[in-house]
Structure 1
């Protein structure tokens, strides 16, 4: 399985450090970091669709129940799963209809998953967003976690917003994502991963700001 590995001496990380002192301090506190890229594109998109507008815990529970119904998670096997069983697993009627639309587009060739790695970020998003229920956020998560694209800034993501508010001591309504994009490009994805990690480690709850974190790690 492919990984996106990040270290303090990585050239991409160094570019971010040169452009953003606060982010650089956070990177050095977090240290080496990596994510596994999800190479089963069909399964990944299904999982992202299931997780929309749900807590992590609720989404994980439903994913497990759906996987129990369909262990191999292919278009053919999932299309044979009954709606009543998917509802019993916790999926809403609307999400089931979105999943059916996704399966139909894959099966009839309107959406070719194998072609996505060879397309630009914008082309991938257009391809995915033709599916009912797949919006900007879901398409961006696919670009990050499956294709490993390096310059994705999911501005609507709550975790990213929380990280930015804490690191830069900003109110939510004052976040200038155009400025953030210019500051972090061409490695917005990498900066976003560090924002998510600071939230995962609960730095925003344990420390008032970056200065306190550096002083009392």
Structure 2
């Protein structure tokens, strides 16, 4: 499944911003895969923190080969050392175990997160061990496909803004200016990045 956006959204952005229109014309449509399974998305994001995309993919592939479909019950029944043997750090394995246990025990409701506002979802997800605000924002963008997410903490987004708008630095005030300018379609700025 790919992130859902089309000509209407692209034309809106092109009409609002000449510089962004040039980039859109040059890059074209981006097919960005999404994982709409919130549990596996959280696990996948925890695994991928501070490692290369290739390393993340390798660990994820090993996990899927070992366990089949990654579910809370399957991961809760594994032990942390077993998860670590797939190539992740022991700390990440503990975070994933803790998360799966909270889901299985009912302490954390995946279904409830789907019904929360963006801010509430970020707060709930970032309350989990191993999930910070940036990771929570990436989860609600790339799993839940919420359209009003553009993270100031995302250095790739800041670098892209510097390149498109020719700034040396993007501070919070400037970032918010561009974010407001493209409100409700800001997610398109993030779909080409690695999560």
Residue of structure 2 equivalent to 1:200: none
Q: 1:142 aligns with which of 122, 139, 147?
A: 139
Alignment of 1:1-217 (within 5 A): 1=1, 3-7=3-7, 10=8, 12-172=9-169, 176-193=174-191, 196=193
Q: Cα distance 1:164–1:97, how it changes in 2: closer, same or farther (>3 A)?
A: same
- Mapped contact 1:69–1:81 kept (Cα < 8 A): no
What's the TM-score, normalizing by structure 2?
A: 0.88
Q: CA RMSD in A?
A: 2.1
> Aligned partners of 2:15 and 2:114: how far apart in 1?
30
Report the count of equivalent residues.
193
Gaps of 5+ in 2: none
How high is the TM-score relative to the length of structure 1?
Answer: 0.80
Tell which structure's C-alpha radius of gyration is larger.
Answer: 1
Question: Does the 8 Å contact 2:35/2:143 carry over to 1?
Answer: yes
Q: Deviations over 1:20-52 (max 9, x none)?
A: 211111112222334343221111110011001
Shift >4 Å, 4+ stretches: none
The separation in 1 between residues aligned to 2:115 and 2:100, in whole angstroms, is 21
Distance 2:171 2:2 in 1: 37
Deviations 1:127-150 (A, max 9, x none): 111211111111111111111111
Alpha-carbon shift at residue 170 of structure 1 (Å): 2.1
